[in-house]
């Protein structure tokens, strides 16, 4: 979501004549789009801004420094206690006003920061645009905010209540992207598989989200559809069935289970039992050949015992997730879990995290090794970071590196997989077609 917001702000500023520079050292204006999901993310952003502002006091670097996004929304003017020289603090719903604030501030410099964390009605339908250049793969925001109350999560505070865009406005954006060469879209929302809740009705057992997926799949040129972030309660039978019915939907699904202990799930405010995750995983796997699953897990939530963690570890390996975001619990001020404190010692959290990381490495490597000898259809992203080769992704989000000409960037190619590691597949352009 932040990447999409940053892209929108960048496009907006370029439309007003600002120029994006490749090197931060050349920038006159630096806007840091921030995340609040963990304490570490906030501290990193504050450290970065502090470094830039110190340099400015010495007459070096950027002349204008601002903080945007979730931390701006979460902490607002309180940030000035840590960063008194900041120029701009703009929350998640007011990003489209940044050019106005910049021009006012640049025209009449004042020592007082602009702080805007207001709620803006209807902003989900008025997001900043995007650049005109061709994007093979694009993010499309379809929903903002979240009405769930997961005890550890700051998102309802930083992104506000759930609001879904209209299908017409989403489809117009997808059609424009497809006409410009986009082949893959990722539909974004904080709880994306509950899209439309409270605004559009489920009809004949088909949810607004599944109706939207069907419509997006009908847009000529769109060959892959992904969606994130999800909640297990949003995987109802119609969505599971959609993976069998809509060929453009990728055979990769995010099923964030967070904990394998029902006691901890209840304390987290997650309205499902571990058994439901097992059933969902089986149903999703059965819906589509080659389906892979990813997840999120938090270790060290207050009250998590060794026995609770053992249940998490068992579920993680039993379901065989191949990708995962694994976190140590980080207490966030203002969340429902704040009064519970942070009771699990850091070394215990680290040991639990390490065990899951080891397990993940094994599961990812095993999954990747199974692809050796197959032909994979790959959407080519661009040059590989090192070594003059190309990189792309399979529909399961596996990264593939291979030799090829830059003219292939943005195209689908078939790659014969010859080798695999924990995070990649390695192959060569195939003579046979993928299936």
Contact positions toward ligand SF4, by CB under 6 A? 146, 148, 150, 153, 155-156, 190-191, 231
What is the closest distance, in whole angstroms, from the C-beta atom of residue 380 to ligand SF4 in the complex? 32
Min CB(148)–ligand SF4 separation in Å? 4
For ligand SF4, the closer of residues 177 and 191 by Cβ is 191
Find the shortest distance in angstroms from Cβ 19 to ligand SF4. 35
Q: Which is nearer to ligand SF4, 148 or 176 (CB)?
A: 148
Q: Which is nearer to ligand SF4, 146 or 213 (CB)?
A: 146
User: Least separation, in Å, of the C-beta of 150 and ligand SF4?
Assistant: 3
Nearest distance from C-beta of residue 268 to ligand SF4, angstroms? 9
Query: What is the closest distance, in whole angstroms, from the C-beta atom of residue 79 to ligand SF4 in the complex?
Result: 22
Q: Which is nearer to ligand SF4, 105 or 231 (CB)?
A: 231
Q: What is the dihedral of CA 308, 311, 317, 321, to 10 degrees?
A: -70
Q: Which is nearer to ligand SF4, 66 or 145 (CB)?
A: 145
The rounded distance, in Å, linking the Cα atoms of 83 and 45 is: 11
Question: CB of 346: closest distance to ligand SF4 in angstroms?
Answer: 22
Closer of 255 and 425 to ligand SF4 (Cβ): 255
CA 182 to chain centre: 19
Q: Nearer Cβ to ligand SF4, position 301 or 402?
A: 301
Q: Cβ distance 93 to 67 under 8 Å?
A: no
CB under 8 Å to 374, separation ≥6 — which residues?
Answer: 417, 434
């Amino acid at each position: 979501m932040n990447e999409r917001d940053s892209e929108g702000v960048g496009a907006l500023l370029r439309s007003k004549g600002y120029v994006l520079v490749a090197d931060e050292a050349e920038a006159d204006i630096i806007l840091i789009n921030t995340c609040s999901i963990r304490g570490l993310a906030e501290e990193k952003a504050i450290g970065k801004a502090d470094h830039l502002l110190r340099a400015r006091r010495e007459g070096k670097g950027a002349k204008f420094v601002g903080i945007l996004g979730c931390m701006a929304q979460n902490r607002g003017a309180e940030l000035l206690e840590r960063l008194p020289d900041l120029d701009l603090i703009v929350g998640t719903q007011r990003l489209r006003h940044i050019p106005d604030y910049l021009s006012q501030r640049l025209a009449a410099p004042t020592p007082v920061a602009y702080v805007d964390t207001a709620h803006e009605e209807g902003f989900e339908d008025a997001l900043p645009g995007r650049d005109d250049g061709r994007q093979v793969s694009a993010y499309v925001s379809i929903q903002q905010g979240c009405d769930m109350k997961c005890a550890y999560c700051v998102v309802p505070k930083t992104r506000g209540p759930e609001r879904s865009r209209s299908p017409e406005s989403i489809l117009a954006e997808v059609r424009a992207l497809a006409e410009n060469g986009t082949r893959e879209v990722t539909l974004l929302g904080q709880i994306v598989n509950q899209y439309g809740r409270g605004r559009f009705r489920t009809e004949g057992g088909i949810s607004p989200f599944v109706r939207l997926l069907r419509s997006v799949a009908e847009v000529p040129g769109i060959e892959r559809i992904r969606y994130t972030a999800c909640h297990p309660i949003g995987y109802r039978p119609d969505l599971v069935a959609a993976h069998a019915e809509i060929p453009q939907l990728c055979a990769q699904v995010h099923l964030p289970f967070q904990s394998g202990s029902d006691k901890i799930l209840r304390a987290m405010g997650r309205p499902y039992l571990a058994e439901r995750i097992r059933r969902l995983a089986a149903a999703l796997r059965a819906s589509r050949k080659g389906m892979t699953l990813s997840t999120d897990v938090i270790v060290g939530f207050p009250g998590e015992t060794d026995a609770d963690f053992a249940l998490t570890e068992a579920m993680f390996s039993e379901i065989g997730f191949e990708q995962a975001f694994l976190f140590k619990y980080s207490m966030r001020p203002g969340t429902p879990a704040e009064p519970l404190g942070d009771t699990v010692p850091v070394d215990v959290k680290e040991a639990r995290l390490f065990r899951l990381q080891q397990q993940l490495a094994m599961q990812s490597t095993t999954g990747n090794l199974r692809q050796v000898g197959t032909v994979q259809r790959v959407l080519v992203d661009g040059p590989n970071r090192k070594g003059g080769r190309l990189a792309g992704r399979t529909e399961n989000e596996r990264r593939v590196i291979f030799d090829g000409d830059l003219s292939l960037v943005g195209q689908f190619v078939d790659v014969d997989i010859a080798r695999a590691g924990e995070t990649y597949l390695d192959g060569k352009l195939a003579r046979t077609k993928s299936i």
